[in-house]
Structure 1
Amino acid sequence: MSNKKRTPSKRTASPRRLSVRGTLRREPDLNRIARSLAALAIAQAEKEAEAERQREEPPRD
């Protein structure tokens, strides 16, 4: 894995899917776990914000 900083990318039309596979390691990869948890939290917040916008948006005729 490179040490380069990631540049923000444009969002794609489809949502991201996360996959978790168990790999036996001497120590857990805390950076990978943290990134996964952050991605899950962001996805959940986006979903909740979209639901809130749908509730607040007046019906179109």
Structure 2
Amino acid sequence: MARKLNQLDKQQTKLVVHGVNILNKISIDSDTAMSRIKQRRETHNRVERRRRDNLI
């Protein structure tokens, strides 16, 4: 029983903000997290722009 509780304590929940898991076990600084979010947004915008251009 103690082993099961210990395993449950070790499991972290995922908190994903714009595709970035901010509760990662490896601590990253906020600059890295924000740059990942910015890069993901720019990629999405580029894909959407290309998609809209192909519709016309």
| Coarse TM-score class (shorter-chain normalised) | 0.5 to 0.7
Counterpart for residue 39 of structure 1? 39
Higher relative contact order (CA 8 A, sep 6+): 1
TM-score (norm 1): 0.49
**Distance 1:54-1:29 versus aligned 2 partners, 3 A rule:** same
| Equivalent runs, 1:7-46 vs 2, <5 Å | 22-23=25-26, 25=27, 28-46=28-46
Letter in 2 for 1:52: R
* Richer in helix (by share): 2
CA distance in 2, matches of 1:45, 1:22: 29
Query: How many corresponding residue pairs?
Result: 34
The gaps in structure 1 that reach 5 residues or longer are: 1-19, 57-61
Residue 53 of structure 1: CA displacement?
A: 0.2
The gaps in structure 2 that reach 5 residues or longer are: 1-20
Counterpart for residue 55 of structure 1? 55
Q: Which runs of 4+ in 1 moved over 6 A?
A: none
TM-score (norm 2): 0.53
Q: Which has the greater radius of gyration? A: 2
How much is the aligned-residue C-alpha RMSD, in angstroms?
1.9
